[in-house]
Amino acid sequence: MSVLHYLDQGQGRPLVILHGLFGTLDNWQSLARRWATEAGLRVISADLRNHGRSFQTNEHSYELMANDVRALLDHLGLGDDVTLMGHSMGGKAAMRLALHHPEHLARLIVVDIAPRYSDMEHQDDIIAGLQAIDLSKITNRQEADAALAQYIPQLGVRQFLLKNLYRKEDNSFAWRINLDALTTNLRAIGEETTGPVPFLKPALFIRGGKSRYITTEDKLHGIPALFPNSQVATVPDAGHWVHAEAPDEVYELVRAFTTAGPA
């Protein structure tokens, strides 16, 4: 079985980070370095399947993503004092692993996603925009951005998506994401997270105050039903990309939660 591409830095209690849909481990690098250098953690950032520099496959499900992460944990021999953190899609993959294989983790952090079903229709414009970029014809990133802007007016979202674009050795462009597989499996990426029994170990949910991904209903009922030893921390002025919009707040929340208790 192929092992996920990862970056390992620092020494100390392990913190494993999983990015969201269309992301890469690079999205977390500024914070990962801080946790490694300032908080004394060993930080492992991973590219999930069909993303970044990890392997590509036609299949994309939370069961498979959780198994990929288990294989990475076994490969690294991290022991059982692991904090697993995931954002959005990565958060659902982390929840899946925690609920089905709690013995691999000491604690869980989920960034701005709830275990309930997520309607993925809001991703349709993104998929259409990415598919509208003709990789055989573009000669620079500005042309790709112009094509994407017809579907996605927000510059920040386009910049995030275009981080997946790279030049091959023949100077042509290609995607690091497996766009076909993600498009085919998009509805599965929204599926509800369930488990045979609740995850009883400590869990922290970090919520963007301007985001709708974790609702009051989730906070009161959906999350505690599966994660009874959990807390929800709201970062008031942040949206869904909490870590990019409020890095200092996220740094401190994760540092305090991860380093609490005996090593």
Catalytic residue positions, numbered: 88, 180, 240
Are the beta carbons of 96 and 65 closer than 8 angstroms? Answer: yes
- The closest of 112, 105, 110, 116 to 201, measured between CA atoms, is 105
Provide the CA 234 distance to its chain's centre, in angstroms.
18
Q: Return d(Cα 26, Cα 163) in angstroms, integer.
A: 9
List CB contacts of 13: < 8 A, sequence separation 6 or more: 40, 41, 42, 81, 83, 258, 259, 263
The amino acid that residue 116 corresponds to is R
Going by their DSSP bridges, the two strands 6-9 and 41-46 should be labelled as antiparallel
What's the first-to-final CA gap in the chain, in angstroms? 31
Burial of 191 (0-12, 13-18, 19+ CB in 10 A): middle
DSSP assigned state of 255: H
Number of H helices, E strands in the chain: 12, 9
Which helix (H) or strand (E) element contains residue 115? none
